[in-house]
A and B are shown apart, each in its own frame.
Chain A
């Protein structure tokens, strides 16, 4: 195929530029993948062509080819955002506008968004004059485009050029934005609503009051809930910009209305943004307006809304004005929270469980014991494992306030039940909290109540659980020390070496791998090593090659002499094993080489792939 752009470096052809000619050629190849590869190297091509030819030949060529696959267009849109230097610096950056303008009108959302992102980026590289001469007209063209895609894209460009243009142009931009806010395509109104906050931030305060507020009010009462909910997001930015005395008249009527919108999606959005809204409107309005609104959201009829609000309970309480925080929480919030503890929906309960413990630091010791503790205990007995898990995972907050002992009697059955849950992910989650719990409950409580659980996980039928259990033991030893390990867990771990199930025997080895370091040389040499060595005669090859691996792993902990007298003979024997994997790992251990086995396999197979796939392409290009 011949290319629109001749090979660079003149008609005679310069051999060093041959690869570039190929890349240019491939921009037109029938194979999408090749076009894509070539587009991704666009900067290389441009660099080779030089700034002038990039401007006069490459860019027009690219502008013309904008009827390609979306994937190629996406790559192109991204590349052009970084092209300023390749077209000759800021002075010429406007050359990039035509292709990006076309890209900003395509159907596919990701391409359009990327084009807008690149346009926003290069807008900063325009001089104020160029911005008015080249960039702003482009925004206007997009804003008055026929198809919704271009108008949608325009919404994202107003805020980047507004601050740097003259006041006449500013007035035009405001007018365009106003028009798009009342566009009759909901897609465009959604785009405008989602950029409303950003646009408000670059406007002069007077215009925020005169223009933005009326747009905000209109969008917030749009007929489509998908538009209204975006106005809630804008509400945060707008409220931040306005002086306190204007909030009541300009923002609050709309916000109140949103909090009671008939669509649950809008109410959900209010709940989801509640902390931001609270900060934006300040303490007075919070006390008078947001507290009752929050109560309503916590009691909303849709579980989605309640869950979103429940998630914000702690943050909301934390940010209440300190002077009457406790009173507000105790009289207004806590009664709602109490109801949520026995909500019918598990997502609501589990959202609450993930933050409720945080209230104890805010309310202090006495209130926690009297009011919160019964709620914690109720949630610890909840039928849904996520709820219990969320409580247990946040125990540290309570520990600081009242100490964990208050909870331990209820904690134990909850932990035991989670530890035996039918879902392995639940078991995995509780294992991960064991070291934390052990630290808070102390060694005695642990030995008495939890140790058996930790050992039982070692023979779980799911590998991920056994693995986590191994790691858990290591963390426990780090907490309780080597002496504790020697008396409580090491004997049990080593006992498993005689288990009839080879998976359990392997678990012994994995535990030793994890524990040797924290247990120290003495225990490793005297207690663990003999067991490992004995296992080298195991009849299952998997056990034997894991012995080799373990020996390599614990080697650094052992003394040289031990290595020489005890370890080496065993490895030598394993190196002559009839199983090739055992031999391999024995050799690995002996040479101390660290290249993992799997990696070698991979390399071999990827070489095969190269051989297989490279050929046809060579044939094609010949």
Chain B
């Protein structure tokens, strides 16, 4: 079956090649994957204990946990210890029985901590955390695919997921149990624990990252003493991502958590938080893989501005500094984020940044990539932005006029030309006399300088006309 699919895939690839001479990256990569062994889409370093001597891993089932009976605490502990045995999931033949025993036990444990009251006695905490630490904390394996592209490639999935999922589930239920006591747990769920948890966010397996996100969020909520530490470590992860490695799979998840953290910041904002915004969140916009976490990042930024509108000016200036120079896809994202910001901007703040902002927007509308031009022109569909423009039409119209006028004559894409006409019409209605003055002086300039429109033409292919 797999082989059949493979041949179909390559036939499609060849067809694609014939059409435009270039195979799409996804098709090429799919072929590479086909060529690699078909089973290797899973990875794990969980069972790679160094120089391991084969040990007897066989587990025998223990009696069922019954909360009402005596000695249940001891049995609970025994079961937790039993679950500390790790199995090799690359080897799908051996230890099948024991694997099943562990799975069933984990299931039972999840059930036990989520449905019963009074089971989380102080003495159980060390065994609980030890079981969790043994199972989930590990050095992530090297990526199977060194140029892993999260947009196109299938992620490598954690091979031991059948067990690990239940351990994560257990950790979550443990944290959410009404009897859970942070004051006891903080001896075990400490800075070191959090640090290791954060490192796991780099996993390629999205299922694992999803669990981690919820768990970290719970820990942040319950352990006040760890909050500053968690924020600082996330800071470090981001700074490393921006300035050192450019690689971390869990940026989106961490930003999602931060989004709700920022929401809860008290006013006035501490200097530490402002620094995080300016020195970490803004530079994150420079990342190559921005598309993977832009939505979450923009959400964080807007959260900050809603908290403290005076940050609007430095944020917009920061975005303008990092404005993409060659990547149209990113430019569209920046314009989207700008609209989100403008949606919540205060008119006094708007006045402070309108000039540099509209210089940039004016460049965007003349962009030969029609998606960029289109996204910029869509700003005029926003009622609130429109009202801000109208209020400041005497400043904004001169900045926009030249580009709009020129593009209305020269853009290759008819949709853009139509949009530009609408925008010009709107602007003309806002201040007709200024519009006429600008038209006159623009035409004058043109006559004086020969045919500047052709010389400034951004589309080289029309040069020969």
Which residues of A are in contact with B by a Cβ distance under 8 Å? 69, 107-109, 147-148, 184-187, 190, 223, 225-226, 260, 262-265, 296, 299-304, 612, 615-616, 619
Given A296-B50, A303-B142, A304-B142, 18 other A-B residues pairs in contact with their CB atoms under 8 A: A107-B243, A108-B243, A109-B244, A184-B232, A187-B239, A187-B240, A190-B244, A225-B139, A260-B50, A264-B139, A299-B51, A300-B50, A301-B45, A301-B49, A301-B50, A302-B141, A612-B455, A616-B455
Do A109 and B243 have beta carbons less than 8 Å apart? yes
A186–B244 alpha-carbon span in the complex (Å)? 11
Answer whether residue B463 sits at the interface, using C-beta atoms and an 8 A cutoff. yes
7 cross-chain pairs, A with B, having the tightest CB-CB distances, nearest first: A301-B48, A263-B139, A304-B142, A109-B243, A615-B455, A616-B455, A186-B236
Answer whether residue B456 sits at the interface, using C-beta atoms and an 8 A cutoff. yes
- A-B contacts, 30 listed (Cβ < 8 Å): A107-B279, A107-B283, A108-B243, A109-B243, A109-B244, A185-B236, A187-B239, A187-B243, A187-B244, A190-B244, A223-B192, A226-B240, A262-B50, A262-B139, A263-B139, A264-B141, A265-B139, A296-B50, A296-B51, A299-B51, A301-B45, A301-B49, A302-B141, A302-B142, A303-B142, A304-B142, A612-B455, A612-B463, A616-B452, A616-B456
Report chain A residues within 8 Å CB of B48: 301-302
Report chain B residues within 8 Å CB of A302: 45, 48, 141-142
A299–B52 alpha-carbon span in the complex (Å)? 11
Do A619 and B452 have beta carbons less than 8 Å apart? yes
**Chain B residue nearest to A149 in the complex (CB):** B243
- Interface residues in B331-388 (C-beta closer than 8 Å to A): none
Do A223 and B195 have beta carbons less than 8 Å apart? yes
Q: How far is the CB of B89 from chain A (nearest CB, A)?
A: 14
What is the 8 Å Cβ interface bit string for chain B, positions 124-161, against chain A (1 contact, 0 not)?
00000000000000010110000000000000000000
**Chain B residue nearest to A304 in the complex (CB):** B142
Q: How far is the CB of A258 from chain B (nearest CB, A)?
A: 12
Report chain A residues within 8 Å CB of B327: none
What is the 8 Å Cβ interface bit string for chain B, positions 185-201, against chain A (1 contact, 0 not)?
00000001001000000
Do A186 and B139 have beta carbons less than 8 Å apart? no
Q: How far is the CB of B189 from chain A (nearest CB, A)?
A: 16
A265–B202 alpha-carbon span in the complex (Å)? 14
Answer whether residue B449 sits at the interface, using C-beta atoms and an 8 A cutoff. yes
Give the most central of A69, A260, A301, A303: most B CB within 10 Å: A301
Report chain B residues within 8 Å CB of A185: 236
Q: How far is the CB of A387 from chain B (nearest CB, A)?
A: 15
Report chain B residues within 8 Å CB of A612: 455, 463
**Chain A residue nearest to B37 in the complex (CB):** A344
What is the 8 Å Cβ interface bit string for chain B, positions 161-180, against chain A (1 contact, 0 not)?
00000000000000000000
A107–B240 alpha-carbon span in the complex (Å)? 12
Q: How far is the CB of A396 from chain B (nearest CB, A)?
A: 31
Report chain B residues within 8 Å CB of A265: 139
Do B142 and A264 have beta carbons less than 8 Å apart? yes
A148–B232 alpha-carbon span in the complex (Å)? 12
A303–B244 alpha-carbon span in the complex (Å)? 24
Q: How far is the CB of A268 from chain B (nearest CB, A)?
A: 8
Do B279 and A147 have beta carbons less than 8 Å apart? yes
Report chain B residues within 8 Å CB of A303: 142
A615–B142 alpha-carbon span in the complex (Å)? 54
A163–B382 alpha-carbon span in the complex (Å)? 65
A148–B463 alpha-carbon span in the complex (Å)? 50
**Chain B residue nearest to A347 in the complex (CB):** B146
**Chain B residue nearest to A107 in the complex (CB):** B283
A304–B232 alpha-carbon span in the complex (Å)? 31
A616–B449 alpha-carbon span in the complex (Å)? 10
**Chain B residue nearest to A611 in the complex (CB):** B455
A300–B141 alpha-carbon span in the complex (Å)? 13
Report chain B residues within 8 Å CB of A148: 239
- Interface residues in B317-338 (C-beta closer than 8 Å to A): 321
Q: How far is the CB of B445 from chain A (nearest CB, A)?
A: 10
Report chain A residues within 8 Å CB of B240: 186-187, 226
Q: How far is the CB of A304 from chain B (nearest CB, A)?
A: 5
Selected contact of B45 from candidates A226, A264, A615, CB within 8 Å: A264
Q: How far is the CB of A158 from chain B (nearest CB, A)?
A: 21
Report chain B residues within 8 Å CB of A262: 50, 139
A303–B142 alpha-carbon span in the complex (Å)? 9
Give the most central of B45, B232, B463: most A CB within 10 Å: B45
**Chain B residue nearest to A109 in the complex (CB):** B243
Report chain A residues within 8 Å CB of B49: 301
A265–B50 alpha-carbon span in the complex (Å)? 13
Report chain A residues within 8 Å CB of B449: 619
Q: How far is the CB of A201 from chain B (nearest CB, A)?
A: 25
A530–B51 alpha-carbon span in the complex (Å)? 72
Q: How far is the CB of A81 from chain B (nearest CB, A)?
A: 22
Q: How far is the CB of A205 from chain B (nearest CB, A)?
A: 33
A619–B450 alpha-carbon span in the complex (Å)? 10
What is the 8 Å Cβ interface bit string for chain B, positions 435-465, against chain A (1 contact, 0 not)?
0000000000000010010011000000100
A260–B50 alpha-carbon span in the complex (Å)? 7
Give the most central of B141, B452, B455: most A CB within 10 Å: B455
A186–B241 alpha-carbon span in the complex (Å)? 12
A203–B239 alpha-carbon span in the complex (Å)? 32
Report chain A residues within 8 Å CB of B239: 148, 187
Q: How far is the CB of B123 from chain A (nearest CB, A)?
A: 28
A226–B236 alpha-carbon span in the complex (Å)? 12
Q: How far is the CB of B91 from chain A (nearest CB, A)?
A: 13
**Chain A residue nearest to B141 in the complex (CB):** A302
**Chain B residue nearest to A67 in the complex (CB):** B321
**Chain A residue nearest to B229 in the complex (CB):** A184
Report chain A residues within 8 Å CB of B236: 185-187
Q: How far is the CB of A309 from chain B (nearest CB, A)?
A: 14
Report chain A residues within 8 Å CB of B279: 107, 147
A303–B50 alpha-carbon span in the complex (Å)? 13
Q: How far is the CB of A70 from chain B (nearest CB, A)?
A: 9
**Chain B residue nearest to A614 in the complex (CB):** B455
Q: How far is the CB of B182 from chain A (nearest CB, A)?
A: 23
What is the 8 Å Cβ interface bit string for chain B, positions 228-257, against chain A (1 contact, 0 not)?
000010001001100110000000000000
A109–B45 alpha-carbon span in the complex (Å)? 32
A148–B280 alpha-carbon span in the complex (Å)? 12
A107–B283 alpha-carbon span in the complex (Å)? 9
Report chain A residues within 8 Å CB of B142: 264, 302-304
Q: How far is the CB of B50 from chain A (nearest CB, A)?
A: 6
Give the most central of B50, B142, B192, B232: most A CB within 10 Å: B50
Q: How far is the CB of B341 from chain A (nearest CB, A)?
A: 22
Q: How far is the CB of A116 from chain B (nearest CB, A)?
A: 14
Q: How far is the CB of A153 from chain B (nearest CB, A)?
A: 12
A190–B463 alpha-carbon span in the complex (Å)? 53
Report chain B residues within 8 Å CB of A299: 51
A300–B139 alpha-carbon span in the complex (Å)? 14
Q: How far is the CB of B456 from chain A (nearest CB, A)?
A: 6
- Interface residues in B264-302 (C-beta closer than 8 Å to A): 279, 283
Report chain B residues within 8 Å CB of A619: 449, 452, 455
A184–B233 alpha-carbon span in the complex (Å)? 10
Q: How far is the CB of A348 from chain B (nearest CB, A)?
A: 12
